[in-house]
Amino acid sequence: MSQIRRFPSISLAIPASFVTDTPHLREKTFRIGMIGRAAAIFRVDEIIIFRDIPKVDQSADTDLINSILSYMETPQYLRKHLFSFRENLKYVGILPPLRTAHHPTLKHIRDLKLNEYREGVVMKVNKDGSYIDVGVEETAFIGGQNLPLGKRVTVKITSLSQSFPEASQARREEINIYWGYRVSVPNLTLGKIVKEELFDFTVLTSRRGKPFKEVIDEIKKKLKEANKVLVAFGSSNEGLREILSKEGIEMNEVADMVINTIPLQGTETVRTEEAIYATLASLNLIN
Task: Give me the half-sphere count of Cα atoms (radius 13 Å) on the Cβ side of residue 142.
Answer: 25
Instruction: Give me the pLDDT at residue 1, please.
Output: 53
Distance CA 58, CA 182 (A): 20
Instruction: Give me the pLDDT at residue 255, please.
Output: 95
Overall residue count recorded for the chain in this entry: 287
Contact 51, 243 (CB under 8 A): no
Instruction: Give me the pLDDT at residue 2, please.
Output: 62
pLDDT digits 0-9 by tens, 183-213: 999 999 999 999 887 899 999 999 999 999 9
- Would the CA dihedral through 36, 76, 175, 168 be positive or negative? positive
Following CA atoms 97, 93, 269, 11 in sequence, which dihedral angle do they give, to the nearest 10 degrees?
Answer: -40
Q: What is the pLDDT along the chain (287 residues), one digit of tens a residue?
A: 568 888 899 999 999 999 998 999 999 999 999 999 999 999 999 999 999 998 899 999 999 999 999 999 999 999 999 998 889 999 999 999 999 999 999 999 999 999 999 999 999 999 999 999 999 999 999 999 999 999 999 999 999 988 899 999 999 889 999 999 999 999 999 999 998 878 999 999 999 999 999 999 999 999 999 999 999 999 988 999 999 999 999 999 999 999 999 999 999 889 999 999 999 999 999 97
Residue-range domains of the chain with CATH: 9-99+178-286 (3.40.1280.10), 109-174 (2.40.50.140)
| 23 burial type by CB count under 10 A (0-12 exposed, 13-18 middle, 19+ buried) | exposed
Strand ranges of the sheet holding 257-260, from the earlier edge strand across to the other edge: 182-184, 46-50, 9-15, 228-232, 201-211, 257-260
Instruction: Give me the pLDDT at residue 3, please.
Output: 85
Distance CA 78, CA 220 (A): 38
- The torsion angles phi and psi of 105, rounded to 5 degrees, stand at -100, -15
- Would the CA dihedral through 151, 152, 154, 155 be positive or negative? positive
Contact 284, 42 (CB under 8 A): yes
Instruction: Give me the pLDDT at residue 196, please.
Output: 84
Distance CA 242, CA 263 (A): 19
The model scores a pTM over 0.75: yes
